[in-house]
Amino acid sequence: MDIERLPIDGVVLIRPRRIGDSRGFFAETFRRDRLVAEGLPCDFVQENHSLSRRVGTLRGLHYQLPPRAQAKLVRVVRGAILDVAVDIRRGSPSYGGHVKAVLSAENGHQLLVPVGFAHGFVTLEPDTEVVYKVSDVYAPAEDRGVLWSDPALGVGWGVASDAVHLSDKDRALPPLAAAENPFLFEAATA
Ligand SMILES: Cc1cn([C@H]2C[C@H](O)[C@@H](COP(=O)(O)OP(=O)(O)O[C@H]3O[C@H](C)C(=O)[C@H](O)[C@H]3O)O2)c(=O)[nH]c1=O
């Protein structure tokens, strides 16, 4: 697998190698040793699977507060998404900045989102299924989020606001400036 470091430190794009033969392909989609060797989050304790029926379904931007903060390893097993990670670590040189990547069943790419980032995606195809590992368990009391359309973030989702399908919860999320956010940038991790 190839591991590509993206413009914001800590967020990486992982491209598993697909070994094709007459039956189809085989790919190793998770290798803890490779993540350890790169000093990346690697200890996942839960895996999630979501199905989004409509194109333009947007889930995010979400994170959990410490002590239940989550790193996430995201991939798509059907359809396609534009996956987005927003740096919410106060003091970070890229605070409020984001990286995004198209993840699809076809390209097999994965995004590794560290703790200290809000995560979300918008679907690019109908019936899109996203499977992702998280480094801490679900904790509703620590579940938080930032409004997908916060102008201070300037995320280009590629979908018109009136075509986005959101949960009521996500529609009501605050902008980053008003969000509960204890994450601090640790220069030592730079
Ligand atoms: C996240 C989660 C949710 N749930 C329950 C809670 C609700 O009854 C239902 C749907 O939850 P929610 O609307 O928060 O699901 P998403 O909008 O897909 O949230 C996820 O979307 C973005 C992309 C993320 O990065 C997070 O992993 C996660 O917040 O599943 C669970 O039982 N366990 C869980 O780990």
Shortest-distance Cα residue to atom 18 of ligand 1: 59
The answer to whether the CB of 123 falls within 8 A of the CB of 79 is: yes
Shortest-distance Cα residue to atom 27 of ligand 1: 62
188 within some domain: no
184 within some domain: no
Q: What is this model's ipTM? A: 0.98
Segment (H or E) for 169: helix 168-171
116 within some domain: yes
pLDDT score for 190: 43
| Best residue for ligand 1 mutational test, from 47, 50, 122 (most atoms within 8 Å of Cβ) | 50
pLDDT score for 188: 55
The answer to whether the CB of 83 falls within 8 A of the CB of 138 is: no
Nearest in space to 78 (alpha carbons), one of 40, 130, 5: 130
51 within some domain: yes
pTM for this predicted structure: 0.96
What is the rounded distance in angstroms from the CA atom of residue 84 to the CA atom of residue 11?
10
What is the rounded distance in angstroms from the CA atom of residue 78 to the CA atom of residue 127?
7
Give the DSSP letter of residue 103: E
Enumerate the β-bridge partners of residue 24: 21
Enumerate the β-bridge partners of residue 2: 15
186 within some domain: no
Nearest in space to 10 (alpha carbons), one of 60, 71, 81: 71
Q: Is residue 119 within 6 Å of ligand 1 at its C-beta?
A: yes
What is the rounded distance in angstroms from the CA atom of residue 57 to the CA atom of residue 78?
14
67 within some domain: yes
CA of 118 to the centre of ligand 1 (A): 13
Nearest in space to 114 (alpha carbons), one of 9, 7, 19: 9
82 within some domain: yes
In sign, the C-alpha dihedral spanning 122, 124, 128, 131 is negative
Q: Any idea what the CATH number is for the domain that residue 126 is in?
A: 2.60.120.10
Shortest-distance Cα residue to atom 13 of ligand 1: 167
Q: Is residue 121 within 6 Å of ligand 1 at its C-beta?
A: yes
Per-residue pLDDT of the chain (190 residues; tens, 9 = 90+): 999 999 999 999 999 999 999 999 999 999 999 999 999 989 999 999 999 999 999 999 999 999 999 999 999 999 999 999 999 999 999 999 999 999 999 999 999 999 999 999 999 999 999 999 999 999 999 999 999 999 999 999 999 889 999 999 999 999 999 999 999 998 654 4
Q: What are phi and psi of 85, to 5 degrees?
A: -125, 125
Q: Is residue 117 within 6 Å of ligand 1 at its C-beta?
A: no
108: domain range?
Answer: 2-178
How many structural domains comprise the chain? Answer: 1
Active site residues: 62, 132
CA of 156 to the centre of ligand 1 (A): 23
155 within some domain: yes
